[in-house]
Amino acid sequence: MPSSDDAHTGTRIREQRRLARLTQRQLAARMPYSYSLLNQVECGARVATADFVAAVARVLNIDVTVLTGQPYITELQRDRLAELVRPIREALDLYDLGPNPDLTVRSTADLLVRADRLCQEVRATHLRNAARALPTAIAELTHTAWATPSTEVWRALASTYRTAHDISVKLGYYDLSAVALDRMGWAAERASDPCLGAVRQYMRALVYFREGEYTIGQRLIASGHGIVGQADTTRESLAVTGQLHLGASVIHARARNGDAVQRHLGEARSVARRIGDASEVHWLSFSPTNVALHRVSTAVEMGQYDDALKQARKVRLPASLATSRRAHFLIDRARTELETGQTGKALEHLIEARRVAPEQTRYHPGARETIRGLVRTARRTPDTLNYMATWVGL
C-alpha cells in the first residue's frame, strides 16, 4: 500500500488556514461548506474536490495551486516534461520583437497546417509531442506575422498561443497559461476574428471557474456572446455560441444556480441539434455528445452524484470524440462513483482514463484526489490501486 504522505491538499489547506490565523470554524463560516467537511478534508478522511479547493482559495485569497501542489514537479521531471516548459515560456515572450532575420522559416502554408496539427496533438493528449514542437511553431509564426502579416497567419499564431495555454493547464503551469491567453487575445485582435476572440473569453472564463470567481467567469461568458454576436451567423459562430453556453453551465453549476444551468444546457442543446457534430470548429469538441457530457459534469459540480451517475450511464462515447474529452469524462465518472460508493467501478474508469490519456490523467488533480480517496476507503488495497497511486506520485 502506498505510504500516506502528509503533503496532500488537506494538509496544505490546514497550513494556509493557520497562516491566515483562522480556526477551522472561522474558515468554514466563510464558505458554503460545513465545519465537519473541512475537518475531514484537512485530516485526509474526505476528498478535497475542485469546488471545495476553489472555495478555500477564494476565502484565503490565494491561488488554487498553493493548495493542490501543482505543478507536480517530481512526476514532470521523471517524464522529462518539465524541461519542455521553459522553451514555451521563452517563445511566448517573442510577440513584440518583430521579425527575426536569423530565423529560417517554413512556408506560410506549412505553418498554417502545423498550427492546426498542434491542436490535434493536444486533443489526442500527446502533450510531449505538442510541447516539443510548439516553441519553434510560435517563433516562426511570430516572424511571419510581422514580416508578411495576414489574417490567416494571425489566426494561426493565436491558435498556437491557445495550444500553449492548453498544455500549460494540463501540466499545472497556470501562471504560464495566463500569459498564453494574453498573447492569444493580442493575436486575435490583429486577426479581426470575432469567433477567435470569443473562444478566448470562454477560456478566460474557465480560468476564473477554476479559481472560484464565478461572477467574473459569468461576465466573461457574456462578453464572449457579445463578441461572437458581431460575426455572421455561420456554423463556426454557432458552435462557438454553443460552447459558451456549455462553459456557462459548469460555472453556474459550481455557483449552485440550478435554473441557470438548465437554461444554458438547453441553449447548447438547441444549437447542437441545429448544427450537429462541430468538433472541428476551433477544436472545441462541440457536439450533441459534448452537451450530454456537460450534463454529467454540471451534476457532479452541484454534488448531485446519483443524478450524475444516472446520466453518465446513458452516455455513449463515439469513436470520433477527442481523447482529451473522453479522459475528462472518465475522470468525472470515477469521482462520481467514489462519492456513491462504487469504488470498484471508480478504479476501473481511472485505469481506462490512464490507458487512453496517460499524460493528461497523471497530472489531473481530480484523478489524483479520487485515487487518494480510493486508497483511504479501501479495506485492502488491490495491486492495481497501489500501482495507480504510485504512478501519480502518492
Q: Classify residue 207 by its DSSP letter.
A: H
Indicate which CATH number applies to the domain containing 58: 1.10.260.40
Q: Which of 69, 99, 116 is the last residue of a domain?
A: 69
Cell of 382: 488491490
In whole angstroms, give the CA distance from residue 385 to residue 9: 19
Average pLDDT, the chain: 91
Contact indicator for 167, 122 with CB cutoff of 8 Å: yes
Residues 6+ apart with CB under 8 A from 342: 309
Residues 94 and 187 in one domain: yes
Cell of 26: 472561522
pLDDT of residue 342: 92
Q: Which of 289, 320, 351 is the last residue of a domain?
A: 320
Indicate which CATH number applies to the domain containing 355: 1.25.40
Q: Which of 136, 163, 192 is the last residue of a domain?
A: 192
Mean pLDDT of 2-9: 57
pLDDT of residue 43: 85
Cα angle 12, 13, 19 (rounded to 5 degrees) comes to 90
Contact indicator for 17, 41 with CB cutoff of 8 Å: no
Residues 50 and 138 in one domain: no
Residues 100 and 155 in one domain: yes
Residues 292 and 352 in one domain: no
Half-sphere exposure of 301 (CA within 13 A, CB side): 26
Mean pLDDT of 152-157: 96
Residues 80 and 188 in one domain: yes
Minimum mean pLDDT among 49-63, 119-133, 221-235: which range?
A: 49-63
pLDDT of residue 82: 86
Half-sphere exposure of 251 (CA within 13 A, CB side): 26
Residue 3 has pLDDT above 50, yes or no: no
Residues 19 and 85 in one domain: no
**334, 367, 335, 358: which is closest to 348 by C-alpha?**
334
What is the residue range of 10's domain?
1-69
Give 388: exposed, middle or buried? Use CB within 10 Å, 0-12, 13-18, 19+.
Answer: buried
pLDDT of residue 210: 86
Residues 78 and 185 in one domain: yes
Residues 255 and 327 in one domain: no
In whole angstroms, give the CA distance from residue 16 to residue 51: 17
Residues 240 and 303 in one domain: yes
**Number of domains composing the chain:** 4
Residue 4 has pLDDT above 80, yes or no: no
pLDDT of residue 6: 53
pLDDT of residue 49: 85
Give 11: exposed, middle or buried? Use CB within 10 Å, 0-12, 13-18, 19+.
Answer: middle
In whole angstroms, give the CA distance from residue 194 to residue 229: 8
In whole angstroms, give the CA distance from residue 353 to residue 323: 9
Cell of 132: 516539443
Distance set, CA 376 to CA 90, 145, 381 (Å): 41, 53, 9
Residues 58 and 143 in one domain: no
Cell of 19: 497562516
Residue 86 has pLDDT above 90, yes or no: yes
| Of residues 81 and 7, more confidently modeled | 81
Minimum mean pLDDT among 147-156, 245-254, 278-287: which range?
A: 278-287
Contact indicator for 105, 140 with CB cutoff of 8 Å: yes
Residues 6+ apart with CB under 8 A from 41: 9, 10, 13, 47, 48, 52
Give 216: exposed, middle or buried? Use CB within 10 Å, 0-12, 13-18, 19+.
Answer: middle
Give 386: exposed, middle or buried? Use CB within 10 Å, 0-12, 13-18, 19+.
Answer: middle
Report the percentage of the chain scoring pLDDT > 70: 98
Instruction: State pTM to two decimals.
Output: 0.88
Residue 326 has pLDDT above 50, yes or no: yes
**151, 108, 166: which is closest to 283 by C-alpha?**
166
Residues 113 and 130 in one domain: yes
- Runs of H (alpha helix) within 61-126: 64-68, 73-78, 85-92, 108-123
In whole angstroms, give the CA distance from residue 121 to residue 93: 23
In whole angstroms, give the CA distance from residue 319 to residue 246: 21
In whole angstroms, give the CA distance from residue 24 to residue 15: 11
| Of residues 44 and 90, more confidently modeled | 90
Residue 160 has pLDDT above 50, yes or no: yes
Residue 15 has pLDDT above 80, yes or no: yes
**343, 342, 311: which is closest to 329 by C-alpha?**
311
Report the percentage of the chain scoring pLDDT > 90: 71
Residues 216 and 122 in one domain: no
